[in-house]
Amino acid sequence: MKVTAISIPVRDQEKALKFYTEVLGFIKKRDIPLEGGNRWLTLVSAEWQDGPELLLEPAPLHFEPSRVYQDALMEAGIPYTQFDVTNVEEEYDRLTRQEVEFSVKPTEMGTVKIAVFNDTCGNNIQLVEML
Amino acid sequence: MTFYESEISRIRDLCYANDKHLETVIATRNFIDVHYDQDLNLDLLSHHRLTSKFHLLRLFKRYYGLTPKQYLTDKRIEKAKEQLILGHTVKEACFTVGFESVSSFSTLFKAKTGKSPGEFQKEQFSRRDSDLEL
């Protein structure tokens, strides 16, 4: 078994695609039309294009427990997904210039430095730099 | 303050209160990052930090979840991939990143990445070519 995809629940796939590619810098890999306007939409990291794919899935629109869970995580400030970066401060500067909102500014936490931002699609996302 | 922020500070106070420990393991990791291509061993790393090697081994594993040796191996494999992508031979990649035997390097590379160094390189090149063609 191999890990090849991780899911991120989003309220609006098109808006998520724009944010994750234009603001964060991911690259679209697969965009397969499904029923009812839903898509099998995956992205890869620009610097690791044969790495795992991020699946932007519209679960909160079609499965209420998913929406409830996503809202509860957002409310509590909890990031369910995290991305590795080489420099959290640089990413923080780059993203705040693009008006991304951070709920946790760059903070040292033992052997890592973390920051948490709102992905505008219903999720808190954590950035992690290993110190 | 969100629930998450209060949890971060609670857990930090409980798990990461020892600045000396943190300083030691972070400096050790940085040392490995810079000197991964050299003949590193626990004696040398502990000497560098003026600490006993068993203490250092325990601390590193406690804070990073890997032993220094495991961390070093992962770092060398990552660097070897970069070498292969740049077009260096398997032998060159092996010695440049600090491994001493091509056969043990190849075995380790395959175990970690699922491909031999040669297969990995071939795949990178064919991907590049097909990107150009299509």
pLDDT (tens digit per residue) in B35-62: 999 999 888 888 888 889 999 999 999 9
Distance CA B3, CA A116 (A): 13
- Could you tell me the pLDDT band of residue B128, with boundaries at 50, 70 and 90? confident
From B87's Cα to the closest Cα of chain A, the distance in A is 18
User: For A19, which DSSP code?
Assistant: I
Contacts of A50 in chain B (CB under 8 A): 127
Average pLDDT over residues A64-79: 97
- A vs B, Cβ pairs < 8 A, gives 42
Contact of B51 with B42, CB cutoff 8 Å = no
CB atoms within 10 A of CB B55: 13
Joined together, the tokens standing for residue A34 give 């499904």
The predicted-structure confidence for A94-114, as pLDDT tens digits, reads as follows 999 999 999 999 999 999 999
DSSP-H helix ranges across chain A: 13-18, 59-62, 64-76, 88-97
The predicted-structure confidence for A75-90, as pLDDT tens digits, reads as follows 999 999 999 999 999 9
From A111's Cα to the closest Cα of chain B, the distance in A is 7
The residue of chain A with its CA nearest to that of B25 is: A111
pLDDT of B133 above 70: no
Contact of A102 with A116, CB cutoff 8 Å = yes
Contact A104 B15 (CB under 8 A): no
Report for A1-5, A64-68, B120-124: range of highest mean pLDDT = A64-68
pLDDT of B116 above 70: yes
pLDDT of B131 above 90: no
- CATH class as words, domain B74-134: mainly alpha
The predicted-structure confidence for B7-33, as pLDDT tens digits, reads as follows 999 999 999 999 999 999 999 999 999
Contact of A112 with B16, CB cutoff 8 Å = no
Residue A87, chain B, CB below 8 Å: the answer is no
The residue of chain A with its CA nearest to that of B3 is: A76
The pLDDT value recorded for residue B134 is 64
Domain A5-130, CATH homologous superfamily name and number: 2,3-Dihydroxybiphenyl 1,2-Dioxygenase, domain 1 (3.10.180.10)
Residue B63, chain A, CB below 8 Å: the answer is yes
Contact B29 A111 (CB under 8 A): yes
Contact A103 B5 (CB under 8 A): yes
Distance CA B116, CA B75 (A): 17
ipTM of the complex, rounded to two decimals: 0.89
Contact B8 A124 (CB under 8 A): no
Domain boundaries, chain A: 5-130
- pTM (2 d.p.): 0.90
From A78's Cα to the closest Cα of chain B, the distance in A is 5
The predicted-structure confidence for A14-62, as pLDDT tens digits, reads as follows 999 999 999 999 999 999 999 999 999 999 999 888 899 999 999 999 9
The predicted-structure confidence for B66-85, as pLDDT tens digits, reads as follows 999 999 999 999 999 999 99
Arithmetic mean of pLDDT over chain A:
96
Arithmetic mean of pLDDT over chain B:
92
